[in-house]
Structure 1
Amino acid sequence: MIFFHLSTSCLFSFTKEEVVSNTTSSFVFQNYTLSENYKKAKIFYENKDYANSLRLALKISESDNPKNEVELILLNHLIANIYYATRNNKNALVYHKKTLNYLKEFNLSVDKNEINSDNITYFDKDYITSETLLNYGNAFYRLNIRDNIKRYKDSALYYYNEVDKINTLKNNVLEVKSKAYNNISSIYMNDSLYEKAKYYAIKSIGIHKKINNKVNEAAALGTLSSIYLSENNFAEAKKTYINALDLIRNIKTDKAVLVREKLYFNLAYNLYKLKDYKAYDYQELSYIIKDSLRDNEFRGMIAEITEKYNFDNKKELFQKQEENKRLKDQRIFWMIGIGAFIIILSLLFWVNFYKLKQKNLRLKLSQSKLIQNQNLEKVRSESQVRILNATIDGKETERKQIAETLHDSVSALLSSANLHLQATRSQLKGDAPIEIDKTQKIITEASQKIRDLSHTLVSSVLLKFGLKFAINDMADKYSNSQIEIDTKIGETRRYHQDFEIKVYNITQEFVNNILKHSKAEKAVIRLDEVNGKLSLKITDDGVGFDKTKITNKDGLGLNQIDARIQMMQGTFNIDSTKKQGTVIKVVLPILEKDGINLA
C-alpha cells in the first residue's frame, strides 16, 4: 500500500518508504555582536537564495574568520542548513557535527541584562542545539532512504531521541520536538510498528495543540491517519483526515494549501478503499502542479560554489592548467616538425600523387555506396518499428475507447433499466412477478461482467490514481501461492495519461512473461523518478535464459516492447543467466501531464 504522508515540519508529500521533516531556521540569539557579512548571508538564506548565502558564508569561514564564538557556531549552523535545504546530505552532516562540537566546546553564558543595540543579538542555545540534532537525524534518514543502510536509520533515531532529552518548555524548542516525534512516528510506521508510531504521532499533535499551530496540527493528524490507513483501519483514517481538514478549512496560507492538497489526496485513496466514490471528487481537489526545476538549479549552484571554495581542488586545477600549457607548447613544436616532414615527403613523391588520388576516389565511391546501403537498412528498420508501434498505439486507443464506452454508456443503461424495474416493482400491489426478480438478477450480473471487462481492457485505478497505485494493484492481483510480487516505488507523480498507459502496459508485459516462463518464486517491481526520467527495474529469482538466443529480442513479446521503448526515446536492457534469475531495466523520458487550471 502506497500513499502520501504529511510531515509537520516540511509539509511535503512522502511515500511510506520516505518521510523526513525539513526545518526552516528562525534564529534567536543571546547578546553577541555579529558581522555584517553574516547578517547578509542569513538574509539570503531566509529568502531562499541559497547560492548567494552559501557563497558568502564560505567566504566568512575561509577568509574573513568569524568575529566570535557565537558567530562561529551560527555560521556552521547556517552552512549545514543550506546543504540540508538543497539535499546535499553528506556535506550537511559534516557541518551539523561541527555545530554540535562547537556548542559543547564553548562557554556561552552571558549577562542577559547587557544593553541591546542594532549589532547585538540574543543567542538561544537550546533552540540551536535542538534544531541541529533534528536536521542531523533528518540527513541520516535521507541517506537511509537512498542507500537502504540500517545504521543510517539507527543514527536518525538516535539524534531524534537526543532532541527529546532537551529539558525546556520554550515554544520554539517544543516545536522542534514535535517534528522529531513526527519523524520517529514515520520510521516506526515504515517498520509496521503501528502502536509506537501512533504514540509519537499523538505526542506531536499534543505539542501543536499547546502552541496553537493549527496548520502543523493538521499535518500531524495526517500522519496519524496514514498510520490508520497502513493498519487498514479505513473508518478511523477517514474520520481523522476530515478532522484535519476542518482545522485548516479557512486558513489561506501557502503551507495550509499544501497540507490540504495532500490531505485531499490521502482521503481520496481512503474513500476508494471504502468503495465510497466521492474519492474521485477529493482526488481532483488534490492536483497541484509542482515545479522541480528551481530545486535542480539550486543543487547545481551549490555544487559549483562548494567546488570553488575547495582549496585543494583549486590547487590541483592550477597544476593541471600548467601541465596542459606545457603539453600544448610541445604539441605545437611537433606539429611544426611533422608539417615540415610532410612537405618534404610531398615533394619527393609528387609523381605518385595522381595514382593516389584515383585510388582515394575509388575508395570514396565504395564508402558512399556502403553508407547508402546502411541508410536504406536503417530506414527499413525504423519503418518496421513505426508500423509495429502504430499497431500497439491503435490497440491501446481501441481498448481505452471500448472500456470507456462500456463503463460510461452500457453500464449506465443497465443501471437505468434496473431502476425502472425497481420502480415497476414498487407500483405493483402484492408480490411482484418472478420474471422481474430474474430480470434484475440478470441485469446485475451483466453490470458486474461489464465492469470486470472494462477493468481488463484499461485499469480504472491507473486512470484515476496513476502509475503508483495501478502497479501496486497489479502486484496484488498477480501474486499467489506460487509467486510473490513486491513493489518498491519511490517519489513519483501524475504524468500524461498516454505516457502512464504505455508504462503500465510495458510493465504488465514483463510481469506476464515472468508468470509464463520464469518459474520464479519472487519478483520485485521498482519504479522511481530520477533526474527527470522514469526508471523501471524488474527482477525475479527464476530460471533465467540464455541472452545469446534472443539477440533480436524475439520470442517473449520483447520485440513489441523494444519498439515501444524506441519510439518513447528510452533505453532497454536485459541481464539474465540460466538458473540465476533476470534483471530488466527501462529508462524513459517523462511526458508531463497537461496543465490544470486552478482558477
Structure 2
Amino acid sequence: MKSVGQLVYFIFFSTVVWAQNNRVIDSLVNEADKHQGKEKGEILTRLYWEYRGLDNVKASAVADRVMELAIQSNDPLLRAKALHIQGLAKASYGEFSNAIRKVEESLEIALALQDTSQVASVLNSLGNLNHSQSNYNRALDFYMRRIPYLKKNEKTAIATNYNNIGMIQEAIKDYPKALEYFRKALDLHRSTGNKRMEGGTLVNIGIVYFNLKKYDEALEHLLQGVSIIKGEGDKMILSIAYESMGNIHREQKKYKLAEEAYQESLLLSEALQDTYGIASATRNLGETLLAEKRYGPAIVNLMKSHDLAQSIGSKSIMMDTRRLLAQSYFETQDMANAYRNLMEYQVLKDSLFNETKSRQIQELQAKYESEIKDQEINLLNSETELQAAALYEERLIRNASIVSVFMIALVAFLLIRNYQQKIRNAKALALKNEEISSQQILQLQKDKKLEVMEAMIDGEEKERRRIAQELHDGLLGHLAAIKMKFDGMGSESNQDKFNQALSSLDGASTEVRRIAHNMMPQILIRYGLIEALSEFVGNIRMMNYFTITLTHSGIKQRFNPIVELSLYRAIQELTNNIVKHAKASVVLIQLSLISDLLMVTVEDNGVGFNVGIVETTNGIGINNVISRIEYLGGKVSIQSENNKGTTVNIEIDISNESALNI
C-alpha cells in the first residue's frame, strides 16, 4: 500500500494567515464593496486567503477578480499578487504546470519591485508547488532563498519554513529530521496562538509516525489535529487527516473503520472540488474493498479513481489503480482485463522511472548552464582590461613610426636574401617531389583503413542501440506477463514465496533496464564524457565490488562524439575486466588534459597478469580497447605483474581540430 507520505498533495501554508471564520469573511466582503480599483484588489486578495481551504470555487473567482482590478488600475504589485493567488487556485484543481507558470511570473514582478514581503510569500508557494511535483531539490532551493527575506519577529513565517523543510525530509524518508523540523514549527505556532497552523502541523507529525509504523502515536497526533482543525473549518487539512487515519486502520486490518475515514475524506474533497483529493481517497477506498474481497465495488472505485487521476495527469495514482485493477480482475478470473491492466501498470512504472532520470538530467543541464553564465560574467568583467590594452596598443603604434624607416630597409635586405635562398631550395625541392608523392600514396592507404575502422565502430554502436531497444521493448514485456502469472499465486498460504518470486522478477526487470542503459547511455550523448563516467562509477560503487574513485582535471570542453564514445567504451571495458578477473579492492580512474594531450589512467591493486601472455593470446577485450584508441591516433601502454596490480595508460593528442567539438 502507499503511505500518506507518498501522496502528491500537501498542506500549502501561506506566509500570512488570517482566522478563518464567517465573521471575518463577511467583514472583508462588506469592506470590499466600499472601495474601487487598487484598494478593492488588496482587500479581495486578503479575502482569497480566507476562502482558500474552505471554498475553492469562491477562492478561484476572487483571484480572477483581483486580476481584473490589477489590469484596470495598471498596478504592478497588485498584478504580482493576482498572479500568485491565481496560480494557487490552479493548484487546488491539480493544474500544477499552469500554477507554477503563474507563480513564477509573480516572482519576477516582485523581485523587480523589490517588495520583500511579496517575494517571501511567492518563494514559499513555489517551494510548495515544486514539492507537490516531487521536485525536492528545487523546492528546498526556494525555501532556502526565502530565508533572507524573513524577519526575526515573523514567527509564523519562520515556522512555515520549518514545516516546509520537514515535509521535504519526510518525502525523502529522513523521518527523524522531519520530526525535528515539525516540532520546531509546532512550538512556534503554539507560541503565536495560530490554531490552524498548529492543527496542520500535528497532522504532519501523525503522517510521519505512520511512515515509521508507530500507529498509536500517529493516531494520537492525527486526532489532536482533527480536533483543532474542526474548529477552524479547514476542509483541505481535514480531508488529509481523515485519509491518513484510514490508511492506519487499513494497515491494522480494521477495514470498516478505514472505509468510514475514507468516506469522510472523500466528502470533504468533493465539497472542495479537489480532483486530486477525490482520486486519492477513491483509490484508497478501492484498495480497502479489495482487501475485504468485495471485488465488484473495488473495481468501480478504482476505475473512477483512474479516470480522475488521468484528467489531472497524476501518473502515480494511475499506476496504483492499474496495479490494483489487475489484481481485482485476476481474483474474478477475468484474465484478459487483468493482463491489460498489468501491461498499463508496467508502462506507467517505466514512464515514471524515465521522468525521474529526466529530472536528474535537467539538474545537470542547469548546472552546465550556470557554468556558462559564469564564463559570460568573466568576459564582461574583462572589458576594462581590453580598453586598457587598446590604449597601450596606440602608444606602441606611435613609437613604431619612429623606427619605420629602419625596418623598411631591413625588410628589403631580408627579401633579397630570401630570393637567393629560394633559388637554392628549388633544386632540392624538385628532388623531394618524388618522395612526397610516395608518402601521399601511403597516407591515402592509411585514410582508407581509418574509414573502414570508423564504419566498423559505427556498425557496432548501431547494433548496441538495436539490442538495447529490443531488451526494453521485448524482454521487459515478457517479464511483465510473467509477473501477472506470479500474481495468480498470491494466496495467503503461499504469500512469502509469492512475494519472493515477485521481488526476483522486479529485480530482473531492473537488471534488463540497467543493461539497456549501459549499452547506450543517454547522459554521454547529452552531457559528455565526465558526467557519463561519473554515473558509471556511481553504479559500480553501489554494487560494492571494490572502492572506486574518479578524478579529472583540466577538462572544460566537450570532445568530438567519437572521441567521447571510444574513451567511455575503453574505460567501461577495462573496469569490467577488473570486476571479472582482478580481485581488486581499490580502483582509480584519472583523466587529465594538459595543453593538447588527453591522458587517461585506469589502475587497480588486483592480482595482475603477464602482459606478454595476454598480448600473444589476442584477448578480445584488450584488443577492442587498443583498436579504439589507435583509431583516434592515441597510444595504450599496460604495466602489470602477478600480484602487483595493473596500470593502463592512454594518451591522445587532440590538437587536431577534428578531435574537438568546435
Q: Same fold (TM over 0.5)?
A: no
> Structure 2 length as normaliser, TM-score?
0.41
> Structure 1 length as normaliser, TM-score?
0.45
